[in-house]
Amino acid sequence: MLERLLNPRTIAVVGASHKPGKVGHEVLRNLINYGFPGKIYPVNPKGGEILGLRVYRSLLEVPDEVDLAVIVVPARIVPSVVEDAGRKGVKALAIITSGFSETGPEGAELERRIVETARRYGMRILGPNIVGIMSTSKRINATFSGLTPYPGSVTIISQSGALLIAMAGRTWIEKVGINDMISIGNMSDITFPDLLQYYYGDESTKVIGLYIEGLKKGREFIEVARRANKPIVALKAGVSRRGALAAASHTGSLAGSAAVYRGAFRQARVVWANDLDDFFDKMLVLSLLRPPENGHVLIITNGGGVGVLSTDEAERQGIELEDPPKDLKEELRKYMPEFGSDKNPVDLTGMATDKEYYGTVSAALSHPWVGALVVLFCETALTSPQKVADAIVRAYDDSGRTKPIVVSFVGGPETMKAADTVKERGIPIYKSPELALRALAGLMEYARILKKGEPEFRPFGDVDRERVRRVLDAARAEGRSFLLEHEAKEVLEAYGVPVARTRVASSPEEAVALARETGLPVVMKIVSPDIVHKSDAGGVFVGVRTEEEVRETFNKIVENAKKYKPDARIVGVTVQELAPQGLEVIVGATRDPQFGPVVAFGLGGVMVEALKDVSFRVAPVTPEDAEEMVREIKARDLLGPFRGQKPRDVGALKEVISRISQLVTDFPEISELDANPVMLYGEGEGLKVVDARIILA
Ligand code: ACO
């Protein structure tokens, strides 16, 4: 059905106006002027003729099949037009009209009605509230803007109509070639996943760019995006904290939608754009270049300064620069004076002319060690920028254009003019070395995405769902919407998460017996559904050493609790294993309004609160995604090896993240979970959850 929307043979414009300047008139004019090769049928009850085409009084009068009806009548008339379209057997509707769900409940109701009608007739709706559709390959401009994009192989789908038009204009400046541009508007029926699916099968589209403000079906988006057969670059706007759950727990308050979206998009294997410039830069490299076959990046420059700047940016982007192998160095040496440098960046010095550029670029592109090439040029008095530009393009052409290359020209008007010619020849070129490196990093990110394994989550088989069910039901039966600490740990344990052994004693004698079993010293804590902050109530004792102390501590804890809250119900006192100190980390889970259950990871203590150094993924999380999640926090160096300490057991950690993600997926009533702190030990030594909280929805 989307085929008829996006590759129509016939298009009707319903609301085609007789008056130039009106939206309905401009849509028709643009369609005609851009040279749509199929049939165009204007529809307007006034009949007559517009721009040389016969006007039909209603869709029902059109003497042909209509694949796509572009609707430009006022909102109140849209329902009757949709009904006519259904009766006519129209396949798809692009509804430009505004005044629907974006305006409030009344508009939302109107929108619901038109979707219902369309579904009844098996029609699909794009919009409403869109600027329309453009396609350079199919010569469609079904929008009210005369601006059409620079032709090429990128398809952009945008939630903002105005921005889509503006971007169409900008593609001419950036030379980002466009196949289709789709305004998705209110997404009443057709959503991002629907269009992604379609464009996976569209051979004219090599890269998909998404401008997203909010997703309607976050999980479906991830499912579809992660199966893409081509790069997807996304610019996500509106990453405010509003979407975060107003929850009391750590993870709840940290689940700002920006971080969740970022994590979800990585999981979905989408290349993230930081801003509009970055969006264009990444679409450009991904549409022009193949991802590198190996990670060696070689930088060639004629200026030390830009070389250093690019080295700094490479480090920021996680690109490691190594010096080239001996034979390549020898080859490069031929094109530089004594005082040049054959290290990485290769410095040809200010003496370099087009000959030196041609020679070194050719040598680098033909050497198997080089995965990707960065060519920098600083305007100097000695050479003409245009000659250097031509030499780079020639060397690239002569190499067969197989390896990725990004270029940066820094200089004045003459240099910028020369840069334009490089751009026009399909080589990404930037006005600063940092931008070139950033764009290359986008390409390398895609190379990593391609290497990722199967996205399917394989559930752990050794989990005890019944045991979890029993614990949750028992809490509910007592009217509680949270679990006590030992219950939360039991739930985790049932899912194979190692926890510090925790038992409840209801008398001092029982506490002593449990302590003997657990092994002294122990930790003892109050168990009461009425005391949330156990420490404030004097209800936590760490390192209780002797049996006598255990007995005394039991009584002390109960006494403190009664003082703190005289009417508190006291279930008993836990006797817990004193877990050895490890690196304190947090694994949590919460519910995101867009994505449902999400899992969070961060370092314990101030790191998580003050630095908001937390990473998120949508549950369930594969161990591979969990590993990425662990490695992307800023304080990742602490996972070691660090200052002589051996590396932490990341293997155990990623398994626990995966297991917890399965738990919150299997039990949707768990609205929040915090395993905090988790003691993470050295490689091969595992981890232990020391404290845990679970809140039920
Ligand atoms: N079937 C076909 N045509 C009809 C029908 C019908 N049942 N009823 C009326 N028409 C004709 C009208 O006669 C008129 O033609 P005319 O000028 O020859 O008389 C034409 O349809 C348009 O109707 P108008 O009442 O004149 O409506 P107008 O053109 O003022 O507005 C529009 C219609 C443009 C759809 C407006 O309601 C609207 O929604 N504007 C916003 C569009 C927009 O911005 N979309 C979102 C873009 S996203 C962004 O960010 C920019």
Per residue in 377-416, pLDDT (tens digit) is 999 877 899 999 999 999 999 999 999 999 999 999 999 9
Taking the centre of ligand 1 as the mean of its atom positions, its distance from the CA of residue 213, in whole angstroms, is: 26
- Cα–Cα distances (Å) from 593 to 257, 269, 422, 452, in that order, read 9, 21, 46, 28
Q: What is the average per-residue pLDDT within 194-202?
A: 97
The reply to whether 2-237 and 290-452 are identical in fold is: yes
Does 48 contact ligand 1 (Cβ within 6 A)?
no
Q: How many alpha carbons lie under 13 Å from residue 198 in its C-beta half-sphere?
A: 18
State which ligand 1 atom lies nearest to the alpha carbon of 163: 50
17 confidence band (pLDDT: 50, 70, 90):
very high
**Residue bearing the bigger pLDDT, 535 or 136:** 136
- pLDDT score of 641 more than 90: no
Beta strand pairing call for 596-603 and 583-592:
antiparallel
- pLDDT score of 371 more than 90: yes
- 3-class DSSP string for 546-569: CHHHHHHHHHHHHHHHHHHCCCCC
Asked if CATH classification 3.40.50.720 holds for the domain at 2-237, the reply, yes or no, is yes
Task: Please report, to the nearest 10 degrees, the dihedral formed by the alpha carbons of residues 81, 83, 86, 91 taken in order.
Answer: 40
β partners of residue 373: 298, 405
β partners of residue 158: 183, 211
Does 19 contact ligand 1 (Cβ within 6 A)?
yes
Taking the centre of ligand 1 as the mean of its atom positions, its distance from the CA of residue 26, in whole angstroms, is: 11
Does 14 contact ligand 1 (Cβ within 6 A)?
yes
State which ligand 1 atom lies nearest to the alpha carbon of 98: 39
- 3-class DSSP string for 44-113: CCCCCEECCEECECCHHHCCCCCCEEEECCCHHHHHHHHHHHHHHCCCEEEECCCCCHHHCHHHHHHHHH
Task: Confirm if 469 and 659 have CB atoms less than 8 A apart.
Answer: no
- pLDDT value of residue 382: 78
Does 46 contact ligand 1 (Cβ within 6 A)?
yes
| DSSP assigned state of 181 | E
Q: How far apart are CA 614 and CA 252, in angstroms?
A: 12
Does 130 contact ligand 1 (Cβ within 6 A)?
yes
- pLDDT score of 254 more than 60: no
Task: Confirm if 492 and 468 have CB atoms less than 8 A apart.
Answer: no
State which ligand 1 atom lies nearest to the alpha carbon of 50: 18
Which residues have a Cβ under 8 Å from the Cβ of 667 and sit 6 or more positions away?
A: 468, 472
- pLDDT value of residue 127: 95
Fold type of domain 290-452 = Rossmann fold (3.40.50)
Q: Could you give the percent of the chain with pLDDT greater than 70?
A: 96
Taking the centre of ligand 1 as the mean of its atom positions, its distance from the CA of residue 178, in whole angstroms, is: 28
Superfamily assignment of 583-696 in CATH? ATP-grasp fold, B domain (3.30.470.20)
Q: What six digits make up the tokens of 26?
A: 């401009």
- pLDDT value of residue 612: 73
Taking the centre of ligand 1 as the mean of its atom positions, its distance from the CA of residue 95, in whole angstroms, is: 10
Does 82 contact ligand 1 (Cβ within 6 A)?
no
Taking the centre of ligand 1 as the mean of its atom positions, its distance from the CA of residue 41, in whole angstroms, is: 16
* Residue whose entry in the numeric block shows the structure tokens 């620079």: 150
Does 24 contact ligand 1 (Cβ within 6 A)?
yes
Does 126 contact ligand 1 (Cβ within 6 A)?
no
- pLDDT value of residue 610: 62
Of the residues 23, 131, 134, 163, which should be mutated to test ligand 1's pocket, given the most ligand atoms within 8 Å of the CB? 23
Per residue in 580-633, pLDDT (tens digit) is 999 999 999 999 888 999 999 998 766 566 667 889 999 999 999 999 999 988
Taking the centre of ligand 1 as the mean of its atom positions, its distance from the CA of residue 487, in whole angstroms, is: 61
Does 81 contact ligand 1 (Cβ within 6 A)?
yes
Of the residues 13, 28, 44, 87, which should be mutated to test ligand 1's pocket, given the most ligand atoms within 8 Å of the CB? 44
Does 43 contact ligand 1 (Cβ within 6 A)?
yes
Taking the centre of ligand 1 as the mean of its atom positions, its distance from the CA of residue 150, in whole angstroms, is: 28
User: First and final CA of the chain: distance in angstroms?
Assistant: 40
Asked if CATH classification 3.30.1490.20 holds for the domain at 465-577, the reply, yes or no, is yes
- pLDDT value of residue 532: 85
Of the residues 72, 87, 211, which should be mutated to test ligand 1's pocket, given the most ligand atoms within 8 Å of the CB? 72
Task: Confirm if 509 and 547 have CB atoms less than 8 A apart.
Answer: no
3-state percent breakdown (helix, strand, coil) of the chain, nearest 5: 40, 20, 35
For the beta sheet containing 372-378, the strands, ordered from the edge strand earlier in sequence to the opposite edge, are 346-347, 297-301, 372-378, 405-410, 429-430
In this structure, which amino acid lies at residue 661?
S
- pLDDT score of 638 more than 90: no
- pLDDT value of residue 346: 96
Q: Show me where the domains of the chain are located.
A: 2-237, 290-452, 465-577, 583-696
- pLDDT value of residue 611: 65
